[in-house]
Amino acid sequence: MSEWDSEKTPEWGDKSAEPRLGRNQPRLPPESGRDWRLIEKLVMSLQSEQRKSRRWGIFFKLLTFTYLFVLLAIVWTPFGDSLDATTGKHTAVVEVNGPIAADELASADNIVGSLRSAFEQENAVAIILRINSPGGSPVQSGYIYDEIKRLREEYPEKKVYAVISDIGASGAYYIAAAADEIYANRASLVGSIGVVAGGFGFTGVMDKLGVERRLYTAGDNKAFLDPFSPEQEQEVAFWQDVLESTHQQFIEAVKKGRGDRLADDERLFSGLIWSGEQALELGLIDGLGSTSHVARQIVGQEDLIDYSQRKGALRDLVDQLGVSVGQGVVGQLVESRLELR
């Protein structure tokens, strides 16, 4: 056979199946084939494990996202959607808790919204304002006072009872005066019908530190009561007139709400605060009792349903973590705030 014939490529059907090895190509032992098969099995098993790991990773990611979605839905679900399902007669409760201000839980928006829901609920036979507040903004208190008066006229069959727990002073009593009747504990703090505005003056500290105040305004009174400038008598007199005007509005609201029940005592509107027993003698309240006492003995319906708006769970968590710590500290130092307290 010629050399050309020996290197010819075999045709289909030829028996020659094994390739011819050159001189420099050693024949592999049988064990190498088994090694390759073991490597192949190992690679396939690794790929299988990776696929399983990816599937479990996708599963847990979906589970986490589902949990977060449900949590957010719970946090942002508005309170009161399930109140329509209430079938029995009950006494509605709306809480006024903490400082009364636009950015607080006891804001006019929150309390007015709760009051409207309570009045609109057919099964609510009466509304109890459960008050525990030292007061706050006269504007927010005035909004709530006016809305209670309006709702009482719109729903004359439903009475409003204010129940003071620890304290119902200043702006909180402003709100309570709009109710049909006011109740408190004998040791509750009631009244403080007055207006206060406070701030700080830093001129002495600035002089000691050698700090010079540079203030440029367009308008003679634009720097009104600036805490870094010396106090001006005419500015103080003007601000006192503002306080007196706001105080008079407060007095008129209390007189309109309480009427002839108020005692003839000049100290009533001096800003003094009274105990529950003293307030009863002065006509600031109508009786002594708690929320459950009023619902059971006065309203005649002891089943209580709370219509108050609450902080969401996420907001509580943020507050607990201290994110809001220190917020507004500088503003408290340099601003002069008008408050009912």
pLDDT at 312: 57
What are 281-307's pLDDT values in tens digits?
Answer: 999 999 999 999 999 999 999 999 999
Q: From CA 140, how far away is CA 172, in angstroms rounded?
A: 10
Query: Cβ–Cβ contacts within 10 Å for residue 23, how many?
Result: 5
pLDDT at 310: 77
| Residue entry with tokens 């609920």 | 121
pLDDT at 341: 54
- Residue 221 within a domain: no
The radius of gyration of the chain's CA atoms, rounded to the nearest angstrom, is: 39
pLDDT < 50 positions in the chain:
1-9, 12-18, 21, 79-82, 84-86, 323-325, 328-337
What CATH number is attached to the domain comprising 125?
Answer: 3.90.226.10
191 with 99, same domain: the answer is: yes
Q: From CA 145, how far away is CA 137, in angstroms rounded?
A: 12
172 with 56, same domain: the answer is: no
- Residue 308 within a domain: yes
pLDDT at 17: 46
User: Phi first, then psi: what are they for 38, rounded to 5°?
Assistant: -65, -40
163 with 69, same domain: the answer is: no
What are 133-169's pLDDT values in tens digits?
Answer: 999 999 999 999 999 999 999 999 999 999 999 999 9
Locate the DSSP E strands across the chain. Answer: 90-97, 124-133, 159-169, 181-184, 189-191, 196-198, 273-275, 287-288, 304-306, 337-339
pLDDT at 63: 83
60 with 145, same domain: the answer is: no
Give the burial class of 230: count Cβ atoms within 10 A of its Cβ; 0-12 exposed, 13-18 middle, 19 or more buried.
Answer: exposed
Q: From CA 95, how far away is CA 132, in angstroms rounded?
A: 8
pLDDT at 95: 96
pLDDT at 329: 45
160 with 70, same domain: the answer is: no
50 with 148, same domain: the answer is: no
pLDDT at 330: 43
96 with 68, same domain: the answer is: no
- Residue 6 within a domain: no
Tell me if 75 sits within 8 A of 99, measured CB to CB: no
Q: From CA 126, how far away is CA 295, in angstroms rounded?
A: 9
Range of the domain at 42: 37-76
333 with 302, same domain: the answer is: yes
Number of domains in the chain: 2
Alpha helices in 259-290 (DSSP H): 276-282
CA 185-190-195 angle, to 5 degrees, is: 165
Residue type, 273: I
User: Phi first, then psi: what are they for 229, rounded to 5°?
Assistant: -120, 155
pLDDT at 197: 87
Query: Cβ–Cβ contacts within 10 Å for residue 28, how many?
Result: 11
66 with 136, same domain: the answer is: no
